[in-house]
Amino acid sequence: MKTRITELFGIEHPIICGGMLWVTDAKLCAAISEAGGLGCITADQYTSGDALREAIREVKALTDKPFGVNITLMKSFRITEETFMDFFRVCAEEKVANIEVSGLFATDFIPMLHAAGVKITHKVGAVRHAMKIERLGYDAVIVAGVEEGGHPLSDNVATSVLLPKVAESVKIPILATGGMVDGKSMAAALCLGADGIMMATRFLASEECWVHDNIKNWIVQLNETDTDLFCHTTLQARGVKNSVLKKVNELEKNGAEPSEIVRAVSGKKLLQALREGDTEGAAFLFGQSIGRIHEIKSCKAIIDETMAVAEETLRAKAALF
Ligand SMILES: Cc1cc2nc3c(=O)[nH]c(=O)nc-3n(C[C@H](O)[C@H](O)[C@H](O)COP(=O)(O)O)c2cc1C
């Protein structure tokens, strides 16, 4: 399948991995790229440009295929503005294929990245933000519906409505995310105007993902009704309905300070819980897509099956006419 996304990144299949704090390491990233998609590492789990460079070189030692870096641009206790600029500089120097930006809309780094041949994309949850991204000179837009894991925009619009509206509003290539797990969702996204898909939660339940087996087996059992939106007073997130999510809801109901909420959902706790397989130890920002993930597979099997089923689905529908 050739689309504007395979052309943009020089990849075989229009499937890219979304940034996942702590989860997307060099091994997972390389496995996705080796399978013909675009793997990714998440810059915000490093505290300096040099540490990110080391991770990028680790990926390069495992694959010579293109891959990307997610940079989640937000006010952070761990990462200074200077370090964020270092992340962009290192990505330009290392000539990664793509930077997936989420959070703030910034532009300072775009000329430097384009001069280095690095593509730059931004994840958005609204038509107005997609139009802004196009105006600012980004190469592609990632359309994230409210189903997505992580931090869906509080406009709360589903991928099925947001995607065709964005496709009618911008000319740059489009990736769909939020609820994308297989060839059926990919076929639907292509029909709604996407040039490719981004999956995140699906790659968590892969053989190459380092997280504890308890977490992967939990994902396979969870249902689409097992996540909820929370953190309404800080930065809205979607997470699994466990005791941490309940505690955050209670804190918010009692008017807790934002700093208390941020402490309750701390990234450090997540890292520990992912390592130990403790499903009650942190806020797990999984997407509603967990309801459609039934097996732990290799990244190659996930990508090959997605492509085969997308093609089969589109051919079967075309044969109706
Ligand atoms: C465990 C986890 C951690 C995530 N961390 C980040 C992150 O650090 N930065 C970011 O931009 N998006 C993050 N996301 C969101 C994904 O990149 C992606 O937008 C979203 O999960 C897509 O929906 P899906 O999970 O249904 O595939 C995270 C998602 C998950 C599941």
Per-residue pLDDT tens digits of the chain, which is 321 residues long: 999 999 999 999 999 999 999 999 999 999 999 999 999 999 999 999 999 999 999 999 999 999 999 999 988 778 999 999 999 999 999 999 999 999 999 899 999 999 999 999 999 999 999 999 999 999 999 999 999 999 999 999 999 999 999 999 999 999 999 999 999 999 999 999 999 999 999 999 999 999 999 999 999 999 999 999 999 999 999 999 999 999 999 999 999 998 899 888 988 899 999 999 999 999 999 999 999 999 999 999 999 999 999 999 999 999 999
What is the per-residue pLDDT for 266? Answer: 83
What is the distance between the alpha carbons of residues 306 and 182, in angstroms, rounded to a whole number? 5
Task: Determine the residue of 15, 16, 17, 21 to mutate for testing ligand 1's pocket, defined as the one with the most ligand atoms within 8 A of the Cβ atom.
Answer: 21
Contacts of 297 (CB under 8 A, 6+ apart): 205, 206, 207, 305
What is the distance between the alpha carbons of residues 304 and 15, in angstroms, rounded to a whole number? 10
With a 6 A CB cut-off, is 145 part of the ligand 1 pocket? no
Helix (H, G, I), strand (E, B) or coil at 17: strand
What is the distance between the alpha carbons of residues 142 and 194, in angstroms, rounded to a whole number? 9
What is the distance between the alpha carbons of residues 260 and 244, in angstroms, rounded to a whole number? 13
How many other CB atoms sit within 10 Å of the CB of residue 37?
Answer: 32
What is the distance between the alpha carbons of residues 203 and 170, in angstroms, rounded to a whole number? 28
What is the per-residue pLDDT for 237? Answer: 96
Q: Could you tell me the pTM of the whole model?
A: 0.97
Q: CA quadruple 33, 25, 103, 232: dihedral positive or negative?
A: positive
Number of H helices, E strands in the chain: 14, 10
Distance 297 CA to ligand 1 centre (A): 19
What is the per-residue pLDDT for 77? Answer: 73
Phi, psi angles (nearest 5°) of residue 227: -115, 165
Kindly list the structural domains of the chain, giving each domain's residue range(s) and its CATH number in brackets, ordered by start. 4-210+294-318 (3.20.20.70), 213-288 (no CATH)
Residue 202 CA: which ligand 1 atom is closest?
A: 27
With a 6 A CB cut-off, is 152 part of the ligand 1 pocket? no
With a 6 A CB cut-off, is 21 part of the ligand 1 pocket? yes
What is the distance between the alpha carbons of residues 156 and 123, in angstroms, rounded to a whole number? 14
Residue 199 CA: which ligand 1 atom is closest?
A: 27
What is the distance between the alpha carbons of residues 71 and 29, in angstroms, rounded to a whole number? 15
Task: Determine the residue of 148, 268, 269 to mutate for testing ligand 1's pocket, defined as the one with the most ligand atoms within 8 A of the Cβ atom.
Answer: 148
What is the per-residue pLDDT for 112? Answer: 97
Q: Are 293 and 219 in contact (CB under 8 A)?
A: yes
With a 6 A CB cut-off, is 70 part of the ligand 1 pocket? yes
What is the per-residue pLDDT for 76? Answer: 78
With a 6 A CB cut-off, is 279 part of the ligand 1 pocket? no
What is the per-residue pLDDT for 232? Answer: 94
Name the residue at shortest CA distance from atom 16 of ligand 1: 18
